[in-house]
Amino acid sequence: MQDRDFTPLQSAPRYNGFVNVELTADQRAFVQKAIDSGRLSSAEEAIEQALALWERRERRRLEIIAMVEEAEDSLARGEGIPITEESMKALADETKQRVRRRIAAEQSKTSR
């Protein structure tokens, strides 16, 4: 059962106005604990951080969707590579070689 005891929270002015955010009792307690510990300075800061995380997640989700669509288009154009036991072994070997080259390059930079 969801807690319906809401307390409106007013966020900082953004986009020429205020937005009221209603938190459940559990959410208020969570935010208050962060404020009491000094991790956050205000409930508004909690909302700002939550929105920033959501925006990053949404941008990443859209990037992934675009990559999947590009992969599907590539397959539709016949540009796919058949996956077999041999092709997977070759991919693994190629990946190991790239990692080894990268490690060697990093080690040579640090040994200078």
pLDDT of residue 2: 47
Nearest C-alpha neighbor of 10 from the set 1, 27, 22, 26: 22
Q: Is the pLDDT of residue 92 over 60?
A: yes
Amino acid (1-letter code) at residue 91? L
CB 28 within 8 A of CB 40: no
pLDDT of residue 57: 97
CB 11 within 8 A of CB 47: yes
pLDDT tens track for 14-28: 556 778 889 999 999
- Sequence-distant (6+) residues with CB within 8 A of 9 are 20, 21, 22, 23, 43, 44, 47
DSSP state of 9: E
What is the pTM assigned to this prediction?
0.54
